[in-house]
Amino acid sequence: MSPNLAGALLMMASMACFTINDALIKATGGAVPLFQLLVLRGVLATLLIALLAWSRGAFRPRVAPHDWFWIGFRSLSEVGAAYFFITALLNMPLANITAILQVLPLTVTLGSALFFREAVGWRRMSAIAIGFCGMLLIVRPGPDGFTLWSLYALIAVLCVTARDLSTRRLSSHVPSLLVTFSASLMVLVAAALASLSIDWVPVSTQLGTLIAASSLFIVGGYYFSVQVMRAGDVSFIAPFRYTGLIWALVLGWLVFGDWPSTLTLLGAGIIVATGLFTLYRERSQMRR
């Protein structure tokens, strides 16, 4: 198996794990308070990530203060992303919120140009503008289409964009699993503190099984995403992240009976097309 093919399969496996995790969380139906849900999922996920990081020696390298700052900032961004994304997920169709998240390659490219002064030509800027138009077709701002949960989904996009941009500022020798563990631990601690203000509810066997399974799948998603960075050409592998939208469409239809409207599908298609074009232009610039 070639490195590029292995990387593509790992990326698809990562997207499948993350989307199945989302479906399992959505299947809880809000029966468990959000902060309690994050604590229960976070305990198992953080423990598994810690064991994985320890087995890979991720805790051994010395990390500079500069990198700890960005790890901390990234972890705080992860806390915001977890809160706003899961809140929106519990109140929106799975495919809709997944489609909104596909705008991330565009927002990261735009953020790199605005904050890090990376060169972004007019072609990629045009693709970003068109991609945002596609996003508007999904959220449909206006009294009939836009909801509070759409706003939460957009805030989640901003948080994930901040997370990914801060990741780019980390030194290359910082272990990826250490960064992942720090983010998972920060989400767990923040959720545990917030859960002190709510009344916990009993968890049935069915709900407990859903939460435990979601923990396993999110760890699988993190693990495969780390492995992706060690296999093949990233510019070749990156487009396969859009397979997550296919998983969301299938699971949304089979599990929840949801199928996006024509405008949502059109918006998702525009976002994917512009995202692929942006990745293609970045690859062309790297070759030059």
Give the mean pLDDT of 103-115.
86
For the ranges 124-128, 175-179, 197-201, 268-272, which has the lowest average pLDDT? Answer: 124-128
Residue 120 pLDDT > 80? no
> Which range of residues forms the domain containing residue 182?
34-210+243-287
Percent of the chain with pLDDT over 70: 93
pTM of the model: 0.88
Alpha helices in the chain (DSSP H): 3-27, 34-55, 65-89, 94-101, 104-115, 122-139, 148-168, 176-195, 205-228, 234-237, 243-256, 262-287
- Amino acid in the structure at residue 282: E
Can you tell me the distance from the alpha carbon of 156 to that of 198, in angstroms, rounded to the nearest whole number?
23
Q: Is residue 190 part of a domain?
A: yes
Q: Is residue 254 part of a domain?
A: yes
Give the mean pLDDT of 166-195.
92
Nearest residue to 82 (alpha-carbon basis) of 24, 22, 168: 22
Most confident of 86-90, 110-114, 257-261: 86-90
Cβ–Cβ under 8 Å, residues 223 and 11: no
Q: Is residue 72 part of a domain?
A: yes
Can you tell me the distance from the alpha carbon of 218 to that of 49, in angstroms, rounded to the nearest whole number?
10
Give the mean pLDDT of 22-43.
94
Q: Which residue has the tokens 């199928």?
A: 259
Cβ–Cβ under 8 Å, residues 99 and 268: yes
Two tokens, residue 96 = 């809709």
Give the mean pLDDT of 57-71.
92
Q: Is residue 238 part of a domain?
A: no
280 or 250: which leads in pLDDT: 250
Give the mean pLDDT of 73-79.
95
Q: Is residue 68 part of a domain?
A: yes
Total tally of structural domains belonging to the chain: 1
